Chains A and B, each alone.
Chain A
Amino acid sequence: MQGFFQQLVNGLSLGSIYALIALGYTMVYGIIGLINFAHGDVYMVGAYVGYWVTTFTDLGWIPALIISMITCAILGVLIERIAYRPLRHATRIAALITAIGVSLLLEYTMMFFMGARVRSYPEVLENRLFEIGGVVISSQQILIVVISLVLMFLLNFIVRYTKQGKAMRAVSFDHDTAKMMGINVDRTISFTFLLGSALAGAAGVLVGIYYNSIDPLMGMMPGLKAFVAAVFGGIGSIPGAMIGGVLIGIIETMVAGYGGSLYRDAAVFGILILVLLIRPSGLLGKKKGNKV
Chain B
Amino acid sequence: MTQRPLISLENVTITFGGLVAVANVSMFVEPGELVGLIGPNGAGKTTVFNLITGVYRPTSGAIKFADKNDPNHMIDLVGKKPYTVTARGIARTFQNIRLFNEMTVLDNVRLALSHSFRYGLLASLTHLGKFHAEEERSIEEARRLLDVFDLRDKQDELARNLPYGEQRRLEIARAMATDPRLLLLDEPAAGMNPIETEALAETIARIRKEFGITILLIEHDMSLVMKICERIYVLDHGQLIAHGTPDQIQHNERVIEAYLGDDDDI
Q: Could you tell me which A residues sit within 8 Å of B by CB distance?
A: 289, 292
- The answer to whether A292 and B16 touch across the interface, beta carbons within 8 angstroms, is no
Chain B residue total in the interface (Cβ 8 A): 5
Q: List 5 A-B contacts (CB under 8 A).
A: A289-B16, A292-B46, A292-B50, A292-B55, A292-B94
Please indicate the chain A residues that have their CB under 8 angstroms from the CB of B50 in the complex. 292
Tell me the interface secondary structure of chain B in the complex: mixed
Instruction: A292 to B14: give the CA distance in the assembly, Å.
Output: 15
Residue of B nearest to A287 (CB): B17
Q: What residues of B have a CB within 8 angstroms of the CB of A289 in the complex? A: 16
Report A-chain residues with C-beta under 8 Å of the C-beta of B16.
289
- Interface 1/0 per residue, B6-41 and A, CB below 8 Å: 000000000010000000000000000000000000
A292 to B50, CA, bound (A): 8
Per the 8 Å Cβ criterion, residues 93-119 of B in contact with A are 94
Q: Which residues of chain A are near B55, meaning CB under 8 Å?
A: 292
Q: In the assembly, what is the distance between CA of A289 and CA of B16, in Å?
A: 9
Q: A288 CB to closest chain B CB, in angstroms?
A: 11
Give chain A nearest CB distance to B170 CB in angstroms. 19
- B201 CB, min distance to chain A CBs, angstroms: 26
Using a CB-CB cutoff of 8 Å, which residues 191-227 of chain B contact chain A?
none
Q: Roughly how many angstroms separate A289 CA and B56 CA in the complex, as a whole number? A: 11
Q: Which residues of B contact A292 (CB under 8 A)?
A: 46, 50, 55, 94
Closest to A289 in B: B16
- For the complex, give the distance between the alpha carbons of A292 and B53 in Å: 11
Contacts of B94 in A (CB 8 A): 292
Closest chain B residue, CB of each to CB of A290? B55
**A-contacting residues, B50-92, CB 8 Å:** 50, 55
B182 to chain A, nearest CB (A): 18
Expressed in whole angstroms, the Cα–Cα distance for A292 and B97 within the complex equals: 11
Which chain A residue lies CB-closest to B47? A292
Q: How far is the CA of A292 from the CA of B94 in the complex (A)?
A: 8
CA distance A289 to B55 in the complex (A): 11
Instruction: Say how far B102's CB is from chain A's closest CB, in angstroms.
Output: 13
Closest Cβ of chain A to B50, distance in Å, is 6
| A290: min CB distance to chain B, Å | 9
